[in-house]
A and B are shown apart, each in its own frame.
Chain A
Amino acid sequence: MTTIADPKAPRPPKPRPARLTTRGNTELYGWVFMRASGVILVVLIFGHLFVNLVAGEGISAIDFGFVAGKWASPFWQIWDLLMLWLAMIHGTNGVRTIINDYAERDGVRLALKASLYLAFVVVVVLGTLVIFTFDPCPAGSPADLLPSFCTTA
């Protein structure tokens, strides 16, 4: 009669790297996001630069009335919101990679990344609030600084 191995017999330990090099697939998702967001950002940023710097009077036309005129339309609100979020996540993730590449001391790397994430939160929250709580015709402002539709309405 042949004997089969006791199923509870200790197994040889699996060979493992001395240090786990990755936790889950987060870095893969980051890599894919850099490429997906990049493609969308080309459209959003080139459109933004064309409308603000090339069309009409170009950069010399930019003032409160110009911005207010754009954000009176939900189209530009959504455009700018998407651009803000995608560019900030893309840029923050890119700078995170660069910090990881060059900041070798743990303390320095931690401090740089903490400041990076703080800047991310401040800018994204502030930008989002401004886009949605913005009033193109603030009461008591001189009419010549406001877009024309504030007075004709």
Chain B
Amino acid sequence: MPAAPAPSGVPATRKVPAGTLYRGREGMWSWVAHRVTGVAIFFFLLVHVLDTSLVRVSPEAYNDVIGTYKNPIMGLGEAGLVAAIVFHAFNGIRIILVDFWAKGPKYQRVMLWVVMGLFAVTMAGFLPRHLMHVFGGE
């Protein structure tokens, strides 16, 4: 759907600068979200490799540290990380389709709604089960 060209004489109070198809719109916000989730996942990955490396120290050392993660606060953090990676993964596929599929640029906005839909379905499958493990006391 091509955006209608900005009509001449738009009121000066318009928030979006005239003549842009990008700034302040879906394309920009999905890029911001992709960037923020990418960095968050990266820093989590550094910590995740370090704590998993404790299996090389001793079973007790690993179980002690993982044990400190088994509380509701960390459980919610894990849910947030899964949400971040699920969005980044689906939106990453969207970026690849925009770049390589001939009709990708035309459908980039539709594809963002598909990403949001797949995100909602995936999280609806994951969250109840995960929260049950976190709050259900084993």
Contacts and interface: CB of A to CB of B under 8 A. Distances in A.
A87 B132 CA distance: 29
Given A91-B45, A123-B50, A38 B62 contact: no
A59 interface: yes
Interface of B: 35, 38-39, 41-42, 45-46, 49-50, 52-53, 55-56, 58-60, 62-63, 66, 70, 75, 78, 82, 85, 89, 92-93, 95-96, 99-100, 126, 129-130, 132-134, 138
A138 B55 CA distance: 10
Contact of B49 (A42, A65, A95, A126): A126
Contacts of A46: 89
B93 A54 contact: no
Interface-centre pick from B45, B66, B130 (highest chain A CB count, 10 A): B45
Contact of A134 (B39, B55, B66): B55
Contacts of A129: 56
Given A45-B89, A59-B133, A67-B62, A38 B35 contact: no
Contacts of B66: 62-63
Given A53-B130, A67-B62, A38 B38 contact: no
B129 A58 contact: yes
B45 A87 contact: yes
20 contacts: A45-B89, A53-B78, A54-B126, A57-B133, A62-B66, A63-B66, A67-B52, A91-B42, A94-B38, A94-B39, A95-B42, A98-B39, A126-B50, A126-B53, A129-B56, A130-B53, A130-B55, A134-B55, A134-B56, A138-B59
Contact of B63 (A39, A94, A145): A145
B33 to A, nearest CB: 14
A46 B45 CA distance: 15
Contacts of B126: 49, 53-54
Contacts of A94: 38-39, 42
Given A46-B89, A84-B49, 14 more contacts: A38-B92, A42-B89, A45-B85, A49-B82, A53-B130, A58-B130, A59-B75, A59-B130, A62-B66, A67-B52, A91-B42, A91-B45, A123-B46, A130-B56
Contacts of A95: 38-39, 42
